[in-house]
Amino acid sequence: MTSRWMTVGLAAMAAALLGLGTVASCGDDDSGTDAADTPTDDGAGRVENNPSDGVRADFVIDSLRIGNQDDGEGFNIDGINTPAGHAYLPQDGPGGVDNQLGSLLTALVDAGLDFDANADIAESITKGDLMIVLSHRDVDDWTNDPGWVPLFGYAAKDADDPEDPTNNLDGTGQLLIDPESLTDPTDEDTALISFPEGILNVTPAADGNLQRGDFEAGPSLFTVDLTVQDDSHLHLEMNGTRIVWDLETAPTGDPGLNGRIVNGLIGGYITLGDASRAIAQLDLAGSSIDINTIRSILAGQADMDVIPEGFTDDPCTTATVQTDCAPGQTCEADGGTYFCYEGENNPDAISVGLVFTAVSCEITGIYVDPTP
């Protein structure tokens, strides 16, 4: 058996970043990082006088892959350009780009796992098993929208009966919203994931600059719970999540179809504690790698130091510190009660960057499971 858990885990990371799963909370990122390339209001005085007078535009992702940090495929999440030879952090990509996910996956493969992440993702998209819809609301002007352009993220299902994945990605595909993407499974306006203040300004300055798109939104914090391996759940917090893309072809008609967006980039970071606790919930039976090896690899690949020195809110015991605390943390007494302790200069997070393209689609409703 190949390492099915790794495929599931990677899908969970991608899904969390792109707004899938059951989200416990989302909102402004409060991580404290000062991102050097965080999008800001461009001074145009964006005011949305009528949030319902524009058009809706739905896009389904037709390609998704792990970004390459060495090629600058990621965001400078922490606002720092870590040089080669740093005391405890790996070197950043060009311009301080943070995207350690590719290096992490390579390390896991070198440790004995047998998988091809990008190939698995591509196959899932082609088969219709992984459909991610980016739903833009109130587009007043595809060239330069004077107000905010909200973005909602949905997991989707094929609307064809029987399912026909061959027409999902042709620019006119009809899809249904997965109700797990909604707080109210009967109301598509209750999307669990949203970027309410997206900026749409098609400009040549964005061409060739992956971090500066025609559309950009974020950063936000997402807390996501995904069901895996039947009854197990992965809990992942994606911090500093940002999304950008370039408009290649604007949709036409009502609903808007046959449009295309390119140079899409979504990124953020996952703390080691969140990642290790999530992976610890997976059944590693049949794999040649154990949880301690995974924790060691996670610690070795961490490229950000975002948690301040001191006690965390996580209780622990000295006997179970490896499952209670994040890699690199210790279990210390605080007034008679033991909590995980974050030491100074401890790499504690891994940055993530995914590159995507998307084509127009039409959302025709919300999926209803025919089986009771």
Per-residue pLDDT tens digits for 205-262 = 777 788 889 999 988 766 555 555 555 555 567 788 899 999 999 999 888 999 999 9
Selected residue with higher pLDDT from 326 and 23: 326
Q: Which residues contact 314 (CB under 8 A, 6 or more apart)?
A: 273, 324, 325, 339, 340
Q: Domain map of the chain by residue range?
A: 4-307+347-366, 308-345
CA 242/CA 266 separation, integer angstroms: 6
Token pair, residue 214, equals 């025609």
Indicate if the pLDDT at residue 132 is higher than 50. yes
pLDDT band of residue 313 (cuts 50, 70, 90) is very high
Q: Radius of gyration over alpha carbons of the chain, in Å?
A: 21
Taking each helix axis as running N to C, give the angle between helix 291-301 and helix 101-110, from 0 to 180 degrees, rounded to the nearest 10: 140
Q: Helix 272-280 vs helix 4-17: angle between axes, to the nearest 10 degrees?
A: 140
Instruction: Report pLDDT for 31.
Output: 42
Counting residues of the chain whose pLDDT is more than 70, the rounded percentage is: 78
Residue 222: half-sphere exposure toward Cβ, Cα within 13 Å: 35
Identify the top-confidence range among 154-158, 171-175, 278-282, 316-320: 171-175
- Residues 318, 272: contact at Cβ < 8 Å? no
Of all residues in the chain, the percent with pLDDT exceeding 90 is 43
What's the Cα-to-Cα distance from 256 to each of 169, 190, 246, 270, rounded to whole Å? 14, 22, 17, 35
pLDDT digits (tens, 9 = 90+) for 103-121: 888 887 787 766 677 888 8
pLDDT at 226: 55
* In the block, residue with structure tokens 């179809």: 257
- For the CA atoms of 162, 163, 166, 167, what is the dihedral angle to 10 degrees? 90
Contact 102, 350 (CB under 8 A): no
From CA 114, how far away is CA 4, in angstroms rounded? Answer: 9
Contacts of residue 254, Cβ cutoff 8 Å, sequence gap at least 6? 55
Q: What is the mean pLDDT of residues 1-11?
A: 43
- pLDDT, tens only, 86-104: 998 999 999 999 999 888 8
Residue 343 confidence (pLDDT): 92
